[in-house]
């Protein structure tokens, strides 16, 4: 009863998230009952999103792959402790974010970036790139690469917490309440970090913003 109330409070803004959480909870109960193979469904469902978060926080695809795998393994090892007070998705995100934050704090001085290529089969990204440049061919690829590096530099200038908030909100599309639960802070803190981070990004990316 208490778990469902918490879940409702968490996901009150998105009914589809509630359905998703209920479905996840059913799978989690199967895993807790001993059906280890059921966990594969959760991996397949969330691997891209978990990898996306970790990748955008670290800007390193090798580290991101390792950290995402570790997050899934940690979740698998601790699944008997999951009681359904939050959604599985929030719980898994929390594990991934905490592992990544710990990794970033440990390797603060090591900054090696390896970026994935932008896939232009996504209509949103294609439209955006079209809006930014009229070049075609290699010129367009160079521009996209340059923009990508500039974005990455701007993100790396943010603090770890600010970067995490921006990643979760702008890139992964989580709500303020969900980010607050994932990062274990208040909604006000999330909003303030988001506001500050956007101001910094705006200053850094000014040449690419069309007025």
Residues that bind other proteins (CB under 8 A): 36, 39, 43, 47-48, 51-52, 55-56, 61, 65, 68-70, 72-73, 76-77, 81, 115-120, 122, 124-125, 128-129, 131-134, 147-148, 151, 166, 170-171, 198, 201-202, 205, 208-211
Task: Please report which helix (H) or strand (E) contains residue 96, including its range.
Answer: helix 88-106
Q: Which is nearer to other proteins, 187 or 205 (CB)?
A: 205
Task: Provide the token pair at 48.
Answer: 């891209």
As measured in angstroms, the least distance from the Cβ of 183 to other proteins is 17
As measured in angstroms, the least distance from the Cβ of 133 to other proteins is 6
Q: Which is nearer to other proteins, 19 or 62 (CB)?
A: 62
Question: What whole-number distance in Å separates Cα of residue 84 and Cα of residue 1?
Answer: 10
> Longest C-alpha distance within the chain, in Å?
58
Task: Provide the token pair at 153.
Answer: 């530099």
Q: Which is nearer to other proteins, 25 or 132 (CB)?
A: 132
As measured in angstroms, the least distance from the Cβ of 101 to other proteins is 19
Question: What whole-number distance in Å separates Cα of residue 152 and Cα of residue 33?
Answer: 43
As measured in angstroms, the least distance from the Cβ of 198 to other proteins is 6
Residue of 60, 82, 72, 46 whose CA lies nearest to 172: 46
Q: Which is nearer to other proteins, 55 or 89 (CB)?
A: 55
Residue of 185, 151, 184, 141 whose CA lies nearest to 59: 151
């Amino acid at each position: 009863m208490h778990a469902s109330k918490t879940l409702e409070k968490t996901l009150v803004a998105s009914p589809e998230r509630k359905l998703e959480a209920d479905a996840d909870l059913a799978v989690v109960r199967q895993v807790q009952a001993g059906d280890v193979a059921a966990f594969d469904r959760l991996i397949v469902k969330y691997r891209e999103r978990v990898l996306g978060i970790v990748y955008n926080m670290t800007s390193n695809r090798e580290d991101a792959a390792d950290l995402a795998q570790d997050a899934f393994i940690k979740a698998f090892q601790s699944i008997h402790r999951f009681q359904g007070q939050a959604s599985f998705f929030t719980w898994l995100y929390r594990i991934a974010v905490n592992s990544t934050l710990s990794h970033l704090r440990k390797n603060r001085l090591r900054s090696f970036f390896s970026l994935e290529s932008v896939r232009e089969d996504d209509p949103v990204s294609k439209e955006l790139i079209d809006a930014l440049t009229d070049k075609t061919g290699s010129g367009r690829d160079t521009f996209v690469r340059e923009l990508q590096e500039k974005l990455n530099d701007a993100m790396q200038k943010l603090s770890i917490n600010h970067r995490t908030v921006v990643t979760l909100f702008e890139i992964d599309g989580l709500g303020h309440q969900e980010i607050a639960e994932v990062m274990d802070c208040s909604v006000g803190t999330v909003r303030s970090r988001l506001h500050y981070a956007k101001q910094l990004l705006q200053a850094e990316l000014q040449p690419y913003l069309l007025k």
